[in-house]
Chains A and B, each alone.
Chain A
Amino acid sequence: MRRFSERLNLTDVIMFIIGALILLLVVVGSAATLYAGKYTTRQWLDLVVFGVALGSIYALIALGYTLVYGILRMINFAHSEVFMAGPFTAYFLADAMGKSGFLDQNLFVGLLIIFAVSMTVSTIVAILLERIAYRPLRFAPRLVPLITAIGASFFLQYFFRGLYGPNIKVYPEIAFLKNVIRIGDLNIQYLQVLVIAAAALMMIGLQIFIQRSRTGKAMRAVAEDKQTAALMGIDIDQIIVITFVIGGALAGAAGVLYALMFKQVNFIMGFIPGIKAFTAAVLGGIGNVPGAMVGGMFLGIIESIGPTLFLDGLNVPAPQQLKDAIAFTLLVLVLIFRPSGILGEKLAQKKA
């Protein structure tokens, strides 16, 4: 036993050294960058705004992962395709409305329709996914539904590719949303305001729903203990479907926000945001709704600011290339010190 504890110490020491090295690099890099003074305050603020807007979208997608994870203890890998299905389908409507000029004249109604279509399609895909691919495997070992999810993810990607074609489709540009609000050094586009506000509203709404509503409480009960929840008269299947519906609708909404911000949609568009959102969910503490928000914001801001802040001062060429490497390194750092995420509780320690 003594030998064991000694070796455990060794690994702890190594971990500490890894952590300290990363921190040192971050601190030295940041100090050097700031000292060089190559970037203005306004540029830093801009970077933060970009990060928050991107982070909002990550957070919305992350909610889908976190909700399903909380209830089924499974990584719904195909959630990224739920996110893709909505805006990819709604594109045709948006394109038609954009060409006819309807969208510019009735912006609000037009956006509402696009949101409605996208959210509906994403929700339907999520429900079908649950019904066909996941429900029969509810009690299978963890890895089995994971593989099903991966398979479903491939299937959905290429299904939509076959349906709508492989090339990039471009959402119409909405001139109004390009207007800029200026507050001192801070510049925010209406579009960014829309994205951040819509995401925040939806997340707060979800939080209230889960905390206050009867269904929300039942969701929490099911997340904690399915058998006991069933003994309370809660229909587990129904709650799980509701979870997928909420996750799907949020992903559909996030998809439209994404499409408004970046304009391009195609069959593979969900893959990278999906991975990022899943990372955000873990970063914040998976199974935890506010955690998804925090994780999403953190990731968005790190991706935006990180490479410049940490690496520019160290004279690293093309640091933006390494933004994902930075994000994942910080993820490891966070998990070394908080093994269950920023806001995560002991859930990770529980046997999944």
Chain B
Amino acid sequence: MLSNPDRSYPIKIGLLSGVIAVLIALEGMIQAFGARDIIGGVISLGHALLYATFFAAAYLAIRRSGATRLVNTIFVGALSSLIASIFVIALVWLGSWTDLGYVFVNATQPLYELLTFKQGLVVGSLLMLIVGIVMGILAALTVALPAKTRQYILTPVIWVITLGVLQDLVTVTIQNMPFLKPVTNFLYVSNGLSIPGALTIFVLLLAINYFWLEKRSAAQNRYASLPPASRRAVRWGSIGIGVVLLLMLPQILGLYLSEVLDNVGLYLLMGLGLNIVVGFAGLLDLGYVAFFAIGAYTVGVLTSPELGHAVIIGNWWVALPFGVAVAAFAGILLGIPVLKMRGDYLAIVTLGFGEIIRLLALSDVLKPFFGGAQGTRSIADPDIGPLEMTWSPQSFYYLFLAGCILVIFVSTRVKNSRLGRAWMAVREDEDVAQAMGIDLVATKLLAFGMGASFGGLAGAIYASKLTSIFPHSFNFLISINVLSLIIIGGMGSIPGVVVGALALVGLPELLREFSDFRYLLYGAALVVMMLVRPEGLVPEARRAMELEEFREEEEPAKEPVVLKTMGQP
């Protein structure tokens, strides 16, 4: 395919990118992101997005056309990005003649103004055409650059964009470190990076990137040539630094990022639990939120004085084991009717179980026990003994850290135990596993029970962190989110769950201010991720092998190569 240039390709890709650019505009992204400058007064995120579409069109067209001479590449690139820009112009003209706003909410005057650079229809259109051509030329030049140089430049550009986008976060975090305030004042203006700031970042990172890429192998060689004793010292040293960093993290990151880390920790706990059920034992559970809810409600009901129950345990730590145990028991109870079900029957029954738990917690019938729609409030803090303290996200961080370390430890031990191997066998083939003498009932129930207990633990900490729980917090989307993160991370892989939680819970939190598009991008990211790297970010060795097989066996011979290069960072 690559060797066979297709003449209509630049046009096709131009048309496609044009449609995409128009859709981006109609989605309201250009307007919403237009309010946020990457570099103050120079370029907004919205325009950058549009230009990136043109650039991508040109770049792809050049790559696929097989053109090599600079003149040709410029022609091909400019052609396709020009076509894309014509689409955008067409949208503006169409919008000025008819009321597109009747159907498309974002087809409004402000959008058209943005797309014409506030220069009026004719001048704006011309400018947009010029932008299209310029992007095409830029793409051609980018292609013409040596691969290495391209790499040097790309990273700093990405960093400039990232730092521009995350302005709020960076400045707020740096508020904790007053001595760094001058740096932010230098880097940022009120909206976006300052021009000298952007330049400094670019130059600085270019330099770092250059040294990193050039000298990395030298450093590795030097490390490799060290005597074993010093190598060990370096290793232990880095582990030590890692541990200290882990412990210091909330102090460095401040209130909000600690909160984000707490959420990551919460999902990490759930992810590790579901990983046992889905990842290890291969039982598809779509109602995992049920155990989270059960853990939270058990602790909530036991420690909240508001519901007026006879038995109140004031101490969260005393209630905690109940939460974990009740969740584990519920896991086993759910496990029994679904023992004989497979695959998607299991999925729907577990989904139903999750919904049943939520509906019961919400119901008027059980309101005296669980608080119904008004939830359970005034749940105890995890105070130790008489030691009362204010619980902030920073202090909960340590609770989550402890919980995660415990659960990771247990998971790892179990995975490599006899039970873990039995789960793998059940996952691979139930019939064979049974024939090998594995007790299916006990194996499956243990998976459900243990997975549920981790969920219960997560719920117990969650209840205390929020001090209040509402049935609405335990909806189906949580189950979906947890499932997605373990698959994105790499099913069955414990480091994978960590990475998955960071990617799916941490990253979207950072982009909370772009809430309108969070789910849109989240959905797109899930799809792209699965297409590009179906084995997950940190695949389990065994799984990776299986997937490798699927690719090589079923895809045409050239395909896997493409997939691999795309997957690499």
| A332 with B349: CB separation less than 8 A | yes
Stretch from A161-169, A201-209, A240-248, A251-259 at the B interface: A161-169
Mask, B343-361, CB within 8 Å of A = 1, is 1110111011101100110
Q: Chain B residues with Cβ under 8 A from A7's Cβ? A: 439, 441-442
Chain B, residue nearest A1 (CB) = B437
Q: By the criterion CB–CB under 8 Å, are B530 and A144 in contact?
A: yes
Which of B44-52, B206-214, B257-265, B333-341 lies on the face that meets chain A? B333-341
Q: Which residues of A are found within 8 Å of B555, using beta-carbon distances?
A: 139
A:270-314 near B, CB below 8 Å:
275, 278-279, 282, 286
Interface size of B by CB at 8 A reads 66
Q: Evaluate contact between A331 and B442: CB separation under 8 angstroms.
A: no
Query: From A3, which residue of chain B is reached at the shortest CB distance?
Result: B439
Which of A27-35, A53-61, A316-324 has 4 or more CB atoms under 8 Å from chain B?
A316-324
Q: What is the predominant secondary structure among interface residues of chain B facing chain A?
A: helix
Which residue of B has the minimal Cβ distance to A272?
B476
Q: Which of A75, A154, A351 has the most CB of B within 10 A?
A: A154
Of B71-79, B81-89, B182-190, B484-492, the segment with at least 4 beta carbons within 8 Å of chain A is B484-492
CA gap between A317 and B105 in the complex, in Å: 42
- Whether B436 sits at the interface, judged by CB under 8 Å, is no
Quick check: A325 and B355 within 8 Å, CB to CB? yes
> In the complex the two chains form, is A133's CB within 8 Å of B106's CB?
no
With A150-B480, A279-B352, A332-B349 already in contact, the answer to whether A136 and B523 are too (CB < 8 A) is no
Asked whether B136 is an interface residue with its Cβ less than 8 Å from the other chain, the reply is: no
Provide the bound-state CA to CA distance between A138 and B555, in Å.
10
Q: Contacts of A340 on B, CB cut-off 8 Å?
A: 345
Q: Which of B439, B531, B553 gathers most chain A CB within 10 Å?
A: B531
Q: In chain B, residues 452-489, which have Cβ atoms closer than 8 Å to a Cβ of chain A? A: 476, 480, 483-484, 487-488
In the bound complex, what is the Cα–Cα distance between A18 and B335 (angstroms)? 12
Cβ–Cβ contact B352 & A328, under 8 A = yes
Q: Which of A164, A275, A329 has a CB less than 8 Å from the CB of B103? A: A164
Residues of B within 8 A of A324 (CB): 355-356, 359
Name the contact of B345 in the complex, choosing from A146, A163, A275, A339 (C-beta under 8 A): A339
Which residues of chain B are near A163, meaning CB under 8 Å?
Answer: 23, 26-27, 103-106
Besides A150-B526, A322-B360, A348-B343, 7 new A-B residue pairs in contact (Cβ under 8 A), listed by A number: A148-B531, A151-B524, A154-B519, A163-B23, A317-B364, A324-B359, A325-B355
What per-residue 1/0 map shows which CB atoms of A125-152 lie under 8 Å from chain B? 0000000110011111111111110111
- Establish whether residues A162 and B516, one from each chain, have CB atoms under 8 Å apart when the complex forms: yes
B550 on interface, CB distance cutoff 8 Å: yes
Within 8 A of A (CB), among B525-566: 525-527, 529-531, 534, 546-547, 550, 553-555
Size of the A side of the interface (Cβ < 8 Å), in residues, is 65
Q: Tell whether A349 is near chain B: CB-to-CB under 8 Å.
A: yes
Chain A residues, Cβ within 8 Å of B179: none
- State whether A75 touches B523 (Cβ < 8 A): no
Residues B527 and A152 in contact, CB atoms below 8 Å apart: yes
Q: Given B336, B523, B534, which contacts A154 in the complex, CB threshold below 8 Å?
A: B523
Query: In the complex, A148→B360 CA distance in Å?
Result: 31
B360 touches A150 (CB 8 A): no
B-chain residues with CB within 8 Å of residue A153 when the two chains form the complex: 523
CB-contacts of B4-51 with A (<8 A): 23, 26-29
Q: What's the Cα separation between A156 and B519 when bound, in Å?
A: 10
Is B278 on the interface with A (CB-CB < 8 A)? yes
**Known contacts A92-B102, A154-B522, A328-B353; is-contact A14 B336 (Cβ 8 Å):** yes
Which of A8, A147, A332, A348 lies at the interface centre, i.e. has the most chain B CB atoms within 10 A of its CB? A147
- Tell me whether A318 and B439 are in contact (CB under 8 A): no
B363 at the interface (CB under 8 A from A): yes
A118 at interface by CB-CB < 8 Å: no
Contact call B342/A348, Cβ cutoff below 8 A? yes
Residue of B nearest to A150 (CB): B480
Contacts of A155 in B (CB 8 A): 519-520, 523-524, 526-527
Kindly list chain A residues whose C-beta atoms are within 8 Å of the C-beta of B349.
Answer: 328, 331-332, 335
Given contacts A8-B441, A92-B103, A162-B520, whether A151 and B352 have CB atoms under 8 Å apart is no
Q: Which residues of B come within 8 Å of A, CB atoms? A: 23, 26-29, 102-106, 278, 284, 336-337, 339-345, 347-349, 351-353, 355-356, 359-360, 362-365, 429, 439, 441-442, 476, 480, 483-484, 487-488, 491, 516-517, 519-520, 522-527, 529-531, 534, 546-547, 550, 553-555
**Contact, CB under 8 Å: B534 / A144:** yes
Indicate whether A50 reaches chain B with its CB closer than 8 angstroms: no
Contact B517 A162 (CB under 8 A): yes
The minimal Cβ–Cβ distance linking B271 to chain A, given in whole angstroms, is 14
List, in ascending order, chain B residues with CB within 8 A of A231's CB: none
Query: A15 contacts the other chain (Cβ, under 8 Å)?
Result: yes
Contact of A329 among B340, B356, B441 (CB under 8 A): B356
The reply on A4 being an interface residue by CB < 8 A is yes
Which residues does chain A contribute within 8 Å of B488, judged by CB atoms? 147
Q: How far is the CA of A244 from the CA of B520 in the complex (A)?
A: 23
The answer to whether A325 and B356 have CB atoms under 8 Å apart is yes
- The answer for the CA separation of A312 and B345 in the assembled complex, in Å, is 30
On whether the beta carbons of B348 and A331 are closer than 8 Å, the reply is yes
Given contacts A143-B487, A154-B520, A325-B360, contact A317 B527 (CB under 8 A): no
Binding site for B on A (CB under 8 A): 4, 7-8, 11, 14-15, 18, 69, 75, 92, 132-133, 136-148, 150-159, 162-165, 275, 278-279, 282, 286, 316-318, 321-322, 324-325, 327-329, 331-332, 335-336, 339-341, 348-349, 351-352
Residues of A within 8 A of B347 (CB): 75
A113 to B350, CA, bound (A): 41
A159 contacts which chain B residues (CB < 8 A)?
A: 23, 27, 520
Contact A164 B355 (CB under 8 A): no
B441 near A335: Cβ-Cβ < 8 Å:
no
| Interchain CB contact under 8 A, B523 and A156 | yes
Q: A151-B525, A151-B527, A328-B355 are in contact. Are A137 and B344 (CB under 8 A)?
A: no
Residues of A within 8 Å of B102, CB to CB, are 92
B345 CB to closest chain A CB (Å) equals 6
Q: Which residues of A contact B476 (CB under 8 A)?
A: 275
Contacts of A329 in B (CB 8 A): 352, 356
Q: Which residues of B contact A154 (CB under 8 A)?
A: 519-520, 522-523, 526
Asked whether, in the complex, the Cβ of A158 is within 8 Å of the Cβ of B441, the reply is no
User: A334 → chain B, closest Cβ, in Å?
Assistant: 10
Among A75, A92, A148, A348, contact of B341 (Cβ-Cβ < 8 Å) = A348
Q: Which residues of chain A have C-beta atoms less than 8 A from B363's C-beta?
A: 318, 321-322, 325
**Interchain residue pairs with CB less than 8 A apart (27):** A4-B441, A11-B339, A15-B337, A132-B527, A138-B554, A139-B555, A141-B546, A143-B284, A144-B530, A145-B530, A146-B284, A150-B483, A151-B484, A151-B529, A152-B527, A156-B523, A158-B517, A158-B523, A162-B516, A163-B106, A275-B476, A316-B365, A321-B363, A321-B364, A324-B359, A331-B349, A348-B342
CB-CB under 8 A from B351, the residues of chain A are 275, 279
Q: Are B106 and A162 in contact (CB under 8 A)?
A: yes
Instruction: Flag if B352 contacts A332 (CB, 8 Å).
Output: yes
* Cβ contacts under 8 Å, A278 to chain B: 348
Complex CA–CA separation, A352 to B105 (angstroms): 43
Across-interface contacts of B337 in A (CB, < 8 A) = 15, 18, 332, 335-336
